[in-house]
Amino acid sequence: MAGIRQFELGEGLDASGVTTEILTCNCSMELVLDNKSKVFGLYIHSPVMAMSFGHLPFAISTGPELYAGSDTSTSFQLSVGTRNKPMYGAGRSMQDLLESGKGLPLVIHVSLRSRFRMVWKLINPKFEHQAQCFLVLSHAYDKKHRTQAYNSSCIVTS
């Protein structure tokens, strides 16, 4: 994980005037690609990144197409976020978990599709990878350094 730049949960009104919890957040991650091929570059279709609370996704983004040259390690920055999103019942649960001291559990899903382009597209191996990063966000926010404390771990599957 690269960082959580903003995570604000406050009370507000949705478009129809109903009082609810409103979420604004921004999270970024550094994706490191190791291309072990000595000859061929690796093309990554637009990666999809989603942030969720339990089974409730609240932010989804699609990144640009990426390219990792042959026999290199390349890093890319991916981001996901939302602004003024009404959370309704989940917002109160999120606020309670933050204030409890146990932390707010969040999940970030990253979906990648990649391919090598070989021999004028005659041989075109394709791959799909999924990553899940589990975050536990603490209540403490450092206004001076604009940071939010969290613990994270990620699992990658093919």
Which pLDDT tens digit goes with each residue over 124-147? 788 999 999 898 887 665 556 555
By C-alpha distance, which of 77, 48, 43 is closest to 60? Answer: 48
pTM of the shown model: 0.80
- Among candidate residues 83, 14, 23, the one with its CA nearest the CA of residue 53: 23
Helix, strand, coil percentages in the chain from 3-state DSSP, rounded to 5: 10, 65, 25
Share of the chain above pLDDT 90, in %: 35
Give yes or no for residue 22 having a pLDDT over 60: yes
| pLDDT, mean of residues 101-127 | 84
Tell me which residue range forms the domain holding 59.
3-157
Number of compact structural domains in the chain: 1
Our CA angle for 36, 37, 43, nearest 5°, is: 95
Per-residue model confidence as pLDDT tens digits over 40-85: 888 999 999 999 998 899 999 999 999 998 899 999 999 999 999 9
Provide the pLDDT for residue 13: 85
Q: Report the CATH number that the domain containing residue 39 is assigned in CATH.
A: 2.60.40
How far is it, in rounded angstroms, from Cα 19 to Cα 17? 6
